[in-house]
Amino acid sequence: MSGFEARNTHFDRLFATPNLFWLGQNTNHLPMHPAVRRALIDAIEAEEFHAYAPPGGFEALRRAIVDDLGLPGASTATLVTDGAVAALATVCRAFCEPGTNFVTTDPGWKWPMQFARQAGAEVREIPIYDPAAGYKLTVKQLAETIDRNTRIIYLVDPNNPLGIRYTRDEMQSFCDLARGIGAKILHDCTYRDFAEQHVLAATLYPEGAVTSYSFSKWLGLAGLRVGAIVANRDIIERLASYATATLGCSVIAQRAAQAGLAVKSEWMGEVQRIQRRNQAAIKRAVDKIPGLSLPVYPSHGNFLIVECAKLGVKPEALAAMFAERGIMIRQGSYHTPRFGARFIKVSTTVPTEWMDAFCEQLPAAIEAARGLNDVPELF
Ligand SMILES: Cc1ncc(COP(=O)(O)O)c(C=O)c1O
Predicted TM-score of the model (pTM): 0.96
Phi-psi region of 103 (alpha: psi -120 to 50; beta: other; left: phi over 0): beta
Q: What is the pLDDT of residue 376?
A: 75
pLDDT tens digit sequence for 288-312: 999 999 999 999 999 999 999 999 8
SS3 content of the chain, % helix, strand, coil (to 5): 45, 15, 40
pLDDT tens digit sequence for 71-110: 999 999 999 999 999 999 999 999 999 999 999 999 999 9
Q: What is the pLDDT of residue 277?
A: 98
CA distance linking residue 131 with residue 134, whole number of Å:
5
CA distance linking residue 159 with residue 125, whole number of Å:
14
pLDDT tier at 356 (50, 70, 90 boundaries)?
Answer: very high
Tell which residue, 30, 21, 17, has the closest CA to residue 359: 21
367 Cα to the center of ligand 1, angstroms? 32
92 Cα to the center of ligand 1, angstroms? 15
Residues with CB under 6 A from ligand 1: 25-26, 83-85, 109, 156, 160, 188, 190, 214, 216, 222, 227
28 Cα to the center of ligand 1, angstroms? 12
208 Cα to the center of ligand 1, angstroms? 21
The atom number, within ligand 1, closest to the CA of 109 reads 1
The protein residue with its alpha carbon nearest to ligand 1, atom 3, reads: 190
Which of 109, 110, 347 has the most ligand 1 atoms within 8 A of CB, as the residue to mutate? 109
- Tell me the average pLDDT across 22-41: 98
The atom number, within ligand 1, closest to the CA of 108 reads 1
Beta carbons within 8 Å of 307's beta carbon, 6+ residues apart = 292, 293, 294, 295, 342, 343
pLDDT at 246 over 90: no
Task: Please write down the HEC assignment for all residues of 203-240.
Answer: HHCCCCEEEEEECCCCCCCHHHCCEEEEEEHHHHHHHH
- Tell me the average pLDDT across 247-264: 98
Q: What is the pLDDT of residue 237?
A: 97
CA distance linking residue 83 with residue 359, whole number of Å:
31
24 Cα to the center of ligand 1, angstroms? 13
Chain mean pLDDT for the chain: 96
CA distance linking residue 185 with residue 275, whole number of Å:
29
pLDDT tens digit sequence for 141-170: 999 999 999 999 999 999 999 999 999 999
The atom number, within ligand 1, closest to the CA of 82 reads 11
pLDDT above 90 as % of the chain: 95
